[in-house]
A = this chain, B = another copy of it.
Amino acid sequence: MATRLFREAIREALIEEMDRDETVFLIGEDIGRYQGTFRVTEGLFQKYGPNRVWDTPISEPGFIAIAIGAAMEGLRPVVEVMTWSFAFLAMDQIVNHAAKILYKSGGACPVPLVIRGPAGPGKQLAAQHSHSFELWVAHSPGLKVVLPSTPADAKGLLKTAIRDNNPVMFIEHPQLYLTRGEVPDGEYTIPFGVADIKRVGRDVSIITYSRGVLLAQQAAERLQQEGIEVEIVDLRTLMPCDWETVFNSVRKTHRAIALHDDWRYCGFGAEIAAQIQEQAFDWLDAPVLRVAGADVPMPYNKYLERAAYPQVDDVIAAVRQVLT
């Protein structure tokens, strides 16, 4: 197995899918000639030319709508949003068009669309650029939602996303782009709706995804020295979501923590807590705790920013709390 940067793994998936399928094309702002803000699409314009890699004006509603229409005609657009914070401008296209067209057409018009890009805090980009975005789209039937935590998952899940016949929201964490990991050689895909136990443990289950997985791993290593065995369930996809694996883990550990960068209030952690208490009520020895972002717009100052979303110590504190 070769090791890859997270963003290289994404690029590999794009290249492999563009090579195997003429209908796959990329569209977004500064992704071609300029190579992309986070360099994910580096070299692809040179490799595939202007009919496969489209640089757009700053018109998120417009080019996302165009991608939807193209998808209805059987093309497979992969849209890059510079950050998901800009997807608010295209909320009507995503939630009220892409997610609804198959249903309102009585099944006649699938929309095989991928929208991908970074979402999340950590770069001092402040209030208007730092949103997590998973909740907005998870709360919208008709959309699939993917948040990979490793290069290998990112590649396998993105290939699945591009082949999927539905609108897939593929959300990358900016703090992961330069993380490195092993990526299987050759062709592979990872199915949606299959969680991955990133670490096996008996004492407490941390249910998380994306950057949360790295955070949980760091916490788990420190807690291990005290003999606390943390199990890490990486959901990988929130819609569809592999709840059985979550429940089985909790039935084993009897304790659960939901972890994400996104705001706590009405965040995905609430759904995790609600489902666990619905389905594993009698197995729970303690309430499901949530470790999540502070319910405030993201501040610019770096210390305030650090305090605004989960850090390793927060996870460790929650584990101790749920164990007492």
Contact = CB atoms under 8 A, between A and B. Distances in A.
Given A91-B89, A128-B96, A103 B274 contact: no
Given A266-B268, A270-B270, A271-B270, A104 B287 contact: no
Contacts of A265: 138-139, 141, 239, 271
A317 B35 CA distance: 57
B88 A100 contact: no
Interface residues of A, number: 51
Interface stretch (A74-82, A225-233, A290-298): A290-298
B296 A103 contact: yes
A315 interface: no
A91 B131 CA distance: 13
State the number of copies, please. Answer: 2
Nearest to A141: B295
A92 interface: yes
Contact of A287 (B100, B278, B290, B300): B278
B138 A266 contact: yes
Given A268-B266, A273-B278, A127 B103 contact: yes
Interface string A111-151: 00000000000000011100100011011111000000000
19 contacts: A86-B92, A88-B95, A91-B92, A96-B127, A100-B128, A138-B265, A139-B267, A140-B263, A141-B263, A141-B296, A266-B271, A270-B271, A270-B273, A270-B274, A273-B273, A273-B277, A273-B278, A277-B277, A281-B286
